[in-house]
């Protein structure tokens, strides 16, 4: 009998296969049998662990960085070759009673035959599964050779396609449709923000364990009832010599390591593989609840399970960190129709973004990088992250960090944009993948929803010509039953994203969730229409932009200077969005002056993304009304992050550099927010956004302003709404205040007024708002002030549109810089004499990035803004803004 021992196998050698496997297993040199004209590479010590072949090839200097220049194309051969890994491990039976020896492969990417001492022990074909193989101790020697043979996923998928038929799967920029036949991250085949990199390798640890009893899984059922009373049941699943078990010890500890409860349970006679160990109910105040960020603390507990033998030997232990929370997806009838009809809510009271894998090379994403990404999202006032179905089930550190930060997780099962098959072996593989991942994830309080797939229902509806949809069996039978059986309390399951209306009308704005791609994509509508394009829960929508110049410079390394142009070949190589040339042309032409300068184009695309996404967020949050009127229950922008340096919808780029939109979203999602919509009354209503003014007649046409506010707290709040109107073309300005009241946890309409402006004769009108009002260049600043201390609860500035018509005047931007509380922090104050649009601060020169507490601000005269810059370290600051898009020294 023995305590379980686990050893991570970290030392590997790798090489490209160029002879038969038999030759390799026998370590015999042999002639090239691949028949391919590919470079061949002999055994080399792996530099990284876990390991992927591209990363090894790069570390050895054998291939260039595919994220730079056009290098993607020179590394395509790697995905067509086959790759071998080898490890030698020692085995010493610690006693004759060591009954079980197991090898656990926590992640093999993807098609991999595994051999021990020449015997095949596993044929893996699903990257999302953990493969656990029991070894026969008598066959092990003191030194053992483990061989991994990775086959070409590209070729396997094509062969399956030849066998089973070609299906539809996204458009051509979403990778080859044969991808649906292999359970490998779908974005590896290329996506509309990602390059084609078919890597392979040991992307998660390989663990050798020896034990007599092994905890296969621990199921912690932490529940919270309607009165917020908590209970915990702990079940265990075990394998091995169960008759050796004398007792179990279960301990619940709080985050300070204090015992909350502890119990020893005698195993009794006939021990079963699955046992319920404890069911504890707790007194009020004994347990702190886990809340999403912004709603309360994230109290976390650990459950420690120890299995003891009759001799007091610890046979195995397992620890899981849990939280107590209930999660419901509320889909109940709304009281009255809104602009879309009545329908039902879809709410968790959440806002956030869509996560894609943070790198094409998963082994390069360190726990610190995961934490930095998720902290960035949390600091941006997001409280939900959706793990999109074309990526991976992320490693534990991702979900642990979400638990700690209070970020809820919407977890897609890994299917995206395709007609997936459902033959028996495929369904069996998916079932196992789903069971393993649900068991791995279910104890995380952050998990709010499991979702069947990304856009598979929608694509079908869109195409209209696909009759056969075999994977319905997966989305409507297999996955919901796995979630229902393996979670308790049951975690909500949603068939697909989007999914809702009758007959799979995935675009129905009154039921379920929608993906809104009619601004960028679809009908190419102006982004100023986003307020008419909402739904009960908008789980995707977005607008792309270029990353900052520093990131562009990374991929331009050694490039010809002529590539530094918005429409150059290298800029296109680093933008994968379908029809991006035409779509950018339309949206940019609608809103901005055409430019040939790359830096100006970068600024303009970023401003457009910020304005578009910002307008959507503020409009849809406005739909969060009182009970029965919660018309929009959440918004998840596409997309949080990037997997390489690229022009995409990401709100922060590959190097975690936030784009202006990141800060704009943060402001719209703050606890208090104020919003304005401007409607130009006598516009041409059918062919242009209603916010656009007529350049020829702006002295005679007025606009109305609708102003609302959101109180995200659970208490009512009184405030002063302060409005400041400033004309860009004259010295006219005007201020007024209104006392307002905001009921808790909802948006409230505050005012609907004509927009004031300078009178025709340049005489200031003091008598209300008449028809002579103009929107021509009147900037409207709104602030919500605390009536007691004047503190600013929220601010928003509305500019006339389109921006290409606005005659910008020099805002007279003044900055002052002083030292902050610690040597790493600098306080930067910004003031203007005239309004400035989207003032983006950046650091001059190279070195570490600066973390700005806020950025991309709309500044108003008399409203000084203070920003904290972390890591500036005495370097100079530069600024860009609408009208001065090229950054200049302050």
Chain positions contacting ligand BMA, by CB under 6 A: 191-193, 416-417, 454-455, 515, 540, 638
CA distance 326 to 324: 7
Helices 396-405 and 367-379 meet at what angle, rounded to 10?
30
User: 């029809």: which residue's tokens?
Assistant: 579
Contacts of 78 (CB under 8 A, 6+ apart): 53, 54, 57, 63, 198, 199
Note whether 319 and 302 are within 8 A (CB).
Answer: yes
Contacts of 213 (CB under 8 A, 6+ apart): 4, 238, 239, 240, 241, 242, 244, 245, 307, 315, 316
Contacts of 286 (CB under 8 A, 6+ apart): 230, 260
CA distance 348 to 250: 33
Nearer to ligand BMA, 151 or 515 (CB): 515
CA distance 680 to 701: 7
CA distance 224 to 323: 10
Query: Which residues are identified as catalytic?
Result: 455
What radius of gyration, in Å, describes the C-alpha atoms of the chain? Answer: 30
Nearer to ligand BMA, 191 or 624 (CB): 191
CA distance 704 to 752: 7
DSSP-assigned letters across all residues of 472-527: HHIIIIIHHHHHHHH-SSPPPEESSBS-BSGGG-TT-TTSB-EEE-SSSSTT---G
CA distance 837 to 834: 10
Q: Which of 188, 271, 444 is nearest to 178 (CA)?
A: 188
Nearer to ligand BMA, 399 or 638 (CB): 638
CA distance 615 to 613: 5
343 by DSSP, 3-state: which?
Answer: coil
Helices 598-621 and 580-591 meet at what angle, rounded to 10?
80
To ligand BMA, the closest distance from the beta carbon of 638 in angstroms equals 5
DSSP 8-class letter at 394: P
Note whether 638 and 516 are within 8 A (CB).
Answer: no
Q: Which of 479, 489, 421 is nearest to 169 (CA)?
A: 421
Q: Which of 170, 85, 84, 186 is nearest to 128 (CA)?
A: 186
């Amino acid at each position: 009998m023995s305590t379980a021992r686990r050893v991570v196998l970290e030392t590997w050698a790798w090489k490209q296969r160029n002879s038969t496997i038999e030759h390799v297993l026998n370590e015999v040199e042999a002639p090239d049998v691949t028949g391919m004209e590919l470079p061949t590479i002999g055994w080399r010590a792996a530099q990284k662990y876990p390991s992927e072949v591209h990363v090894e090839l790069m570390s050895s200097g054998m291939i260039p960085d595919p994220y730079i220049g056009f290098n993607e194309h020179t590394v395509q051969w790697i995905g067509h070759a086959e790759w071998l890994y080898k490890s030698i491990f020692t085995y010493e039976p610690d006693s004759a009673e060591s009954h079980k020896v197991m090898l656990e492969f926590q992640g093999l990417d993807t098609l991999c035959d595994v051999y021990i001492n020449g015997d095949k022990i596993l044929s893996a074909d699903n990257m999302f599964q953990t493969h656990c193989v029991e070894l026969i101790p008598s066959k092990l020697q003191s030194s053992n050779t483990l061989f991994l043979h990775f086959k070409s996923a590209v070729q396997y998928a094509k062969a399956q396609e030849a066998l089973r038929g070609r299906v539809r799967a996204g458009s051509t920029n979403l990778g080859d449709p044969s991808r649906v036949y292999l359970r490998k991250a779908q974005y590896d085949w290329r996506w509309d923000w990602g390059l084609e990199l078919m890597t392979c390798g040991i992307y998660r640890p390989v663990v050798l364990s020896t034990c007599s009893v092994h905890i296969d899984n621990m199921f912690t059922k932490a529940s919270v009832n309607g009165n917020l009373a908590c209970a915990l049941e702990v079940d265990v699943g075990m394998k091995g010599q169960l008759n050796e078990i004398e007792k179990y010890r279960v301990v619940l500890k709080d985050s300070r390591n204090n015992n909350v409860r502890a119990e020893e349970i005698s195993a009794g006679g006939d021990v079963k593989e699955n046992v319920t160990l404890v069911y504890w109910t707790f007194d009020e105040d004994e347990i702190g609840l886990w809340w999403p960020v912004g709603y309360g603390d994230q109290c976390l507990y650990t459950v420690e399970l120890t299995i003891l033998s009759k001799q007091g030997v610890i046979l195995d232990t397992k620890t899981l960190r849990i939280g107590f929370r209930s999660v419901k997806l509320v889909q109940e009838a709304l009281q009255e129709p809104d602009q879309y009809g009545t329908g039902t809510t879809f709410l968790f009271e959440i806002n956030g973004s869509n996560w894609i894998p943070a790198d094409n090379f998963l082994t390069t994403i360190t726990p610190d990088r995961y934490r930095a990404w998720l902290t960035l999202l949390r600091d941006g006032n997001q409280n939900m992250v959706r793990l999109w179905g074309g990526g991976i089930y992320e490693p534990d550190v991702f979900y642990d960090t979400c638990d700690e930060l209070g970020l809820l997780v919407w977890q897609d099962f890994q299917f995206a944009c395709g007609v997936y098959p459902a033959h028996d072996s495929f369904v069996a593989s998916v079932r196992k993948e789903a069971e393993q991942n649900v068991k791995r994830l279910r104890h995380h309080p952050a998990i709010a929803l499991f979702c069947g797939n990304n856009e598979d229902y929608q694509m079908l509806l869109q195409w209209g010509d696909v009759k056969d949809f075999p994977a319905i069996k997966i989305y409507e039978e297999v996955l919901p039953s796995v979630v229902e059986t393996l979670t308790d309390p049951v975690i909500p399951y949603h068939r697909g994203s989007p999914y809702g209306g009758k007959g799979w009308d995935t675009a129905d704005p009154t039921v379920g969730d929608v993906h809104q791609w009619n601004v960028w994509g679809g009908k190419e509508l102006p982004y100023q229409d986003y307020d008419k394009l909402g739904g009960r829960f908008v789980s995707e929508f977005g607008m792309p932009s270029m990353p900052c110049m520093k990131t562009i410079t990374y991929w331009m390394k050694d490039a010809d200077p002529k590539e530094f142009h918005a429409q150059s070949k290298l800029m296109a190589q680093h933008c994968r969005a379908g029809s991006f040339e035409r779509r950018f042309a339309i949206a940019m032409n609608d809103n901005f002056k055409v430019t040939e300068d790359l830096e100006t184009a970068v600024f303009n695309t970023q401003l457009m993304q910020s304005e578009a996404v910002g307008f959507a967020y503020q409009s849809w949050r406005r739909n969060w009304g009182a009970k029965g009127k919660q018309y929009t229950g959440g918004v998840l922008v596409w997309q949080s992050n990037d997997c390489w340096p690229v022009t995409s919808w990401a709100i922060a780029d590959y190097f975690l550099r936030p784009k202006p939109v990141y800060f704009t979203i943060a402001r719209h999602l703050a606890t208090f927010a104020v919003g304005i919509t401007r409607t130009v009354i006598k516009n041409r209503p059918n062919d242009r956004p209603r916010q656009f003014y007529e350049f020829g007649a702006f002295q005679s046409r007025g606009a109305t302003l609708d102003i609302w506010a959101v109180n995200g707290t659970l208490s009512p709040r009184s405030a002063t709404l302060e409005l400041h109107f400033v004309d860009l073309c004259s010295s006219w300005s005007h201020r007024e205040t209104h006392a307002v009241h905001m009921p808790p946890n909802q948006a409230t309409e505050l005012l609907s007024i004509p927009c004031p402006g300078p009178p025709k004769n340049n005489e200031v009108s003091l008598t209300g708002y008449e028809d002579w009002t103009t929107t021509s260049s009147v900037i409207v600043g709104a602030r919500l002030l605390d009536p007691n201390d004047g503190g600013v609860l929220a601010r928003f500035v509305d500019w006339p549109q389109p921006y290409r018509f606005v005659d910008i005047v020099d805002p007279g931007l003044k900055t002052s810089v002083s030292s902050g509380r610690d040597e790493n922090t600098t306080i930067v104050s910004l003031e203007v004499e005239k309004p400035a649009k989207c003032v983006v601060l950046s650091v001059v020169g190279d070195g570490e990035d600066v973390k700005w507490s806020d950025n991309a601000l709309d500044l108003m005269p008399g409203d000084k803004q203070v920003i904290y810059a972390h890591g500036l370290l005495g370097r100079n600051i530069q600024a860009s803004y609408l009208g001065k898009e090229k950054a200049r020294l302050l």
